[in-house]
Amino acid sequence: MNKVYVCLIADLLHAGHINILKKASKLGEVTVGLLTLKACGELNDIPYLDYEKRKEVLENISMIKEVIPQDSASYKTNLTNLRPDFVVHGDDWKDNNQKKYRSEVINILKEFDGELVEVAYSSDINNMQIKEQMSKLGITTTARQSRLRRLINAKPVVKILEVHNALSGLIAENASESLEDGELVTFDGMWSSSLTDSTSKGKPDIEAVDTTARLTTINEIFEVTTKPLIYDADTGGKPEHFEFTVRSLERTGVSAVIIEDKTGLKKNSLFGNDVAQTQDTIENFCHKIKCGKSAQITNDFMVIARIESLILEAGMDDALKRAFAYVEAGADGVMIHSRLKDPEEIIEFVTKFREKDKTTPVVVVPTSFNSVTTDEFADIGVNVVIYANHMLRAAYPGMMNVAKSILKHKRTLEAEPDCMKIKDILELVPGTK
């Protein structure tokens, strides 16, 4: 009997999959290599269902003899072990982000005279279209909230974009870029920044905008988006107040909160020691983390501890000591911050932290050390990169220039090239017509 290998995610099974399996089972005994969450992450295609649930469905399909895990987007390990006579795949991978894996499969099959059989892919039905339709329907609070943990587990690095209103939320939701190797890149989620939320309300970043106002903004963002959101809760306030914040965030569907280990009147970290800022004691901050963790009611919500030792020039040893203490106290992740342009101290922190702790998610906010790419952060063991203020910083100069131009020219003719076309703004938000 010939051995046939088919690789699947099998999240949303449809007629296209059945067509491939029919073809495969005619050729011999079918082994399905089911992509694990990590492998799906490499393809930027995070399934709704976990591995075991997807496996159970496939195991009950009579055309399939066996389901084995494929732990990487590359077929290499499974094909080398199994040495199948045939690999069957839809022909859509000739031009999509799986192109390079297709070439690899062809080369591996040559080693033992295997053959690649490609089935014409039904263009009227595909996963991406189904997922797009589903996301248009919206998302439940729980599905959005749990998504961040799934993304962190699945992807080498999670990319988060700052949002300060629903319109910037739409950018985080929809912006995409096709890279040279065919990979389509998008943002994974959103950051509600204390700096840009306060600034867009004309207030300083000193915890002057209360949680209710912050949540109103988030609800507006959530009305038009489906991606997960990380909330910047500044110091988290008093532990007793932080417990309520955690509950409110969870109820809204926020995935994670980041609190920083400062106390007293909070000032933005990027001032560093140029303004008076006090770091909390390890003991107090651990207590606050514990209060937050015991207040949450879902398993998925994350409390992430932000270490300000490098910002306040308290040294690397202090930063590391705090990181380990905060994890010990129950933090689901650590964020390390720096205001130096040179990424050296961030790299040193992450490397030293990873020597002792291989799993706790590490978050960075590369506003100052902006030369490092997301891929480079992934390579040193960072899990989440937050682009923390760029949407608002991009919008403000554009608006100011146009306002000045109107004053100068006493009309808008000269400002038009710097403005979006009226036709485009009318069509920007679906349903305007």
232 binds Mg ion (CB under 5 A): yes
192 binding partner (options Mg ion, ligand SPV, none; Cβ < 5 to 8 Å by kind): none
| Residues within window 383-402 making contact with ligand SPV, judged by CB under 6 A | 388-389
Q: Which does 389 bind (CB under 5 to 8 A by kind): Mg ion, ligand SPV, none?
A: ligand SPV
Q: 64 or 195: whose CB is closer to Mg ion?
A: 195
- Asked if residue 61 lies in contact with residue 6, where contact means CB atoms within 8 angstroms, the answer is no
45, 92, 188, 205: which is the annotated catalytic residue?
A: 205
How big is the CA angle at 146 (ends 145 and 150), to the nearest 5 degrees? 135
Per CB under 6 A, the segment of 58-66, 169-177, 265-273, 285-293 that binds ligand SPV is 265-273
- Per residue, the 3-state secondary structure of 277-304, as one string, reads CEECCHHHHHHHHHHHHHHCCCCCCEEE
* Cβ proximity to Mg ion, 92 vs 207, nearer residue: 207
Gyration radius of the chain's alpha carbons: 25
Q: Which is nearer to Mg ion, 148 or 195 (CB)?
A: 195
Interaction between residue 270 and ligand SPV (CB under 6 A): yes
Of residues 191 and 222, the one with the C-beta less far from Mg ion: 191
**Alpha-carbon separation of residue 240 from 33, 277, 297, 302, 379 (angstroms):** 49, 22, 16, 18, 38
First to last CA, the chain: 60
| Shortest distance in whole angstroms from residue 209 CB to Mg ion | 11
d(CA 141, CA 134): 15
Taken as a whole, the chain contains a residue count of 433
Beta bridge partners, 191, equal: 162, 230
On whether the CB atoms of residues 48 and 11 are closer than 8 A, the answer is yes
Among 225, 268, 279, 296, interactor with ligand SPV by CB under 6 A:
268
365 binds ligand SPV per the rule CB under 6 A: yes
335 within 8 A of 307, measured Cβ to Cβ: yes
CB of 193 to Mg ion, least distance (A): 6
With CB under 6 A as the rule, give the number of residues binding ligand SPV.
11
- From the CB of residue 111, how many other CB atoms can be counted at a distance below 10 Å? 10
Subset of residues 183 to 212 that bind ligand SPV, contact rule: CB under 6 A: 193-195
Residue pair 72/38 in contact (Cβ under 8 Å)? The answer is yes
Residue 260 Cβ, how far from ligand SPV at the closest point, in Å?
A: 7
Distance CA 266, CA 333 (A): 22
Which residues on adjacent β-strands are paired with residue 185?
A: 177
Give the Cα separation of 273 and 251 in Å (integer): 36
Q: Which is nearer to ligand SPV, 209 or 286 (CB)?
A: 209
Active site residue 205: yes
Considering the complex, what minimum distance in angstroms separates the CB of residue 156 from ligand SPV? 23
**Region from 232-240, 242-250, 356-364, 367-375 binding Mg ion, contact rule CB under 5 A:** 232-240
Nearer to ligand SPV, 78 or 338 (CB): 338
Q: Which of 31, 36, 78, 194 binds Mg ion (CB under 5 A)?
A: 194
Residues that bind ligand SPV (CB under 6 A): 193-195, 232, 268-270, 365, 367, 388-389
Active site residues: 205
What residues make contact with Mg ion under the rule CB under 5 A? Answer: 194-195, 232
